[in-house]
Structure 1
Amino acid sequence: MEFRTLRAFVEVVRQGGFSSAAKVVFATQSTVSKAVKQLEHEIGLPLLDRLGHRVTLTAAGEIVYRRALRLLAERDDLTAELAELRGLKRGTLRLGLPPIGSGVLFAPLVAVYRQRHPEIEIRLVEHGSERLNELLEAGDIDFAGLLAPIAQEFAQQAVRSEPLMALLAPGHPLAGRDTLRLGDLRDTPFILFESGFTLNRIILEACRRDGFEPTVVARSSQIDFIAGLAGAGLGVAFLPRMIATQRTQVPISLVLLDAPGTEWSMAMAWRRGAYLSPAGDAWLALLRETWSEVS
């Protein structure tokens, strides 16, 4: 059963005859007649009583006519919804963003996207990179802000790379240095983020390469609290330079970390080869427009 034959049948009933229906569907009277006969053949029952130039519905015809109206209306609704998707008048963009750096890197981009596509619903989730990696792999989000290295099953758009800075209390013996190595901090307690933050792994693996396991005295998911603890002398914390330089609420010393392999490299990732909705395609286009020169 095809929509074309249903449409012809409905118009014959609406217009009261084949010739008038043919004009509405832009076909010949013969074509409309064949379409109705094909429909009757498929159903196995007559749908119309043909009395001269007039037609009336049989009992089967009344049922088919009522159902056909619903099917054609659903078809029209489906076409309209798909057109709205293509025109970005509806849809959902599911973004996974990390707590570190999103305010600087992604908040302005989300605002631009919203301004361009106000009908798109933006669903945001915030987790550390490890959890975002899991959500992206499972298809629960469309894009995720992840730290390098990024798994091969994901495509990516590089966003920004920053060195890490050590956050120390002004009175710390190393606070006046221009740069320091992780080995210089082996006797200083570490303040890290909660589990699930890739930045922790980057720091701890670099310490092990330098031959020591740091003492971790506190963990938190709040950047300001971590900075406050470091400024109060509890230990040393680490943040990307662009984030660390904004921590001016408390007296604190920032020292550039000279440790290969500890760069904070953020990228926006998505599943390689996966279907992207029109809303996702528009986000990807904005990513590339914004960071096309980032390698």
Structure 2
Amino acid sequence: MEFRPLRAFVEVVRQGGFSQAAKTLFATQPTVSKAVKQLEEEIGLPLLDRIGHRATLTAAGEVVYRRGVKLLAERDDLLAELAEIRGLKRGVLRLGLPPVGSSVLFAPLFALYARRYPGIEVRLVEHGSDQLEESLRAGDIDFAGMLVPTAEEFDYAVMRHEPLVALLPAAHPLAGRESISLAALRDTPFISFEAGFSLHRIILEASRRAGFEPDIVARTSQIDFMVELVGAGLGAAFLPRIVAEQRRNPALRLVPLDEPGTEWIMTMAWRRGAYLSAAAQAWLALVKETRGA
């Protein structure tokens, strides 16, 4: 099986269509369509069910996509390792970081790495944890900052344990408490992160364990906007203590969240058994050297 048609097929699925895949691959749409057709002929089964301008995965397509993502990641590992053997002088580190906590935990580490290894190009992407996990699984990045991963295919180093705090408007009747449970806030609207963020899932699952479905009045990926919404009296939000402390505001109060199963444990994760380039190994060594410092 050739990798070019497989990569074209994987990108069509990832990007949701042939035209977007063509842009990602720097190819024309007919070229991408031809490559996918070639792969289907080689396999002997249709991989996409084409309905008008939409294309959905067939049963065979789901198998080929799942396996293909891993094959392409392994191929990239092979090429990277061979490049190292040939005496690669300059490297590339591909990092995926979440918006929540990156400025506190990873910016100093990032700066230290750049000073130590000025010849290494750092390619940085920023997404919620769910998307970072998919990018890491696909081999698009070397490391991802994410909450403790549940998949056994990842190894990780714990960077920080932090409790969550509730951000309440200063005028909220419970803003003076020393700590608060989610059940006590069941009648308060919640301001949440987008669905792709682990904190959204943590709060949603904990609320359901407490016996209620939260009234989410706003979703955002921007911490500062979330804080402003709380300060304007729209509702309550939840952040790791280390992040919330940086955003104290006279219009809001920080109240420790007393709720089991809501601790924020940030890790630096990588694919178990994956090849790590010299640049990636240097990053991992720095993570282990400085974590908890």
Aligned partners of 2:165 and 2:255 also within 8 Å: yes
SS at match of 1:159: strand
Q: Secondary structure at the match of 2:238?
A: strand
Q: Cα deviation per residue 1:244-288 (whole Å; 9 max; x = unaligned)?
A: 111135521000000010001000000000000000000011011
CA distance in 2, matches of 1:272, 1:227: 37
Q: How does 1:9-158 map to 2 (within 5 A)?
A: 82=85, 85=88, 89-158=89-158
Corresponding residue for residue 199 of structure 2: 199
Query: Normalising by the residue count of structure 1, what TM-score does the alignment of the two structures yield?
Result: 0.69
Which residue matches 2:164? 164
Larger radius of gyration: 1
Distance (whole Å) between structure 2 residues aligned to residue 115 and residue 173 of structure 1: 49
2:239 paired residue number: 239
SS of match in other structure, 1:141:
coil
Match in the other structure for 1:188:
188
Q: Number of matched residues?
A: 212
Find the counterpart in structure 1 of residue 13 from structure 2: none
Q: Which residue of 2 aligns with 1:53?
A: none
Once residues 172 and 280 of structure 1 are traced to their aligned partners in structure 2, the CA distance between those partners, rounded to angstroms, is: 47
Q: Residue 110 of structure 2 aligns to a residue in which SS?
A: helix
CA distance in 1, matches of 2:288, 2:143: 14
Cα distance in 1 for residues equivalent to 2:83 and 2:146: 36
User: Structure 1 unaligned runs (5+)?
Assistant: 1-78
Q: After superposition, give the CA deviation of every residue in 1:177-216 in whole Å (9 maximum; x if it has no partner).
A: 0100000000000000112001000000000101100000
Q: CA–CA distance in 1 between the matches of 2:107 and 2:199?
A: 20
Aligned-residue Cα RMSD (Å) equals: 1.7
Tell me whether 1:257 sits opposite 2:257 in the alignment: yes
Show the counterpart of 1:174: 174
- Distance of 1:150 and 1:113 partners within structure 2: 28
Q: Deviations over 1:101-155 (max 9, x none)?
A: 0000001101000000000000000000000000000000000001124321100
**What is the TM-score when the length of structure 2 is the normalising length?**
0.70
Cα distance in 2 between the residues matched to 1:207 and 1:270: 30
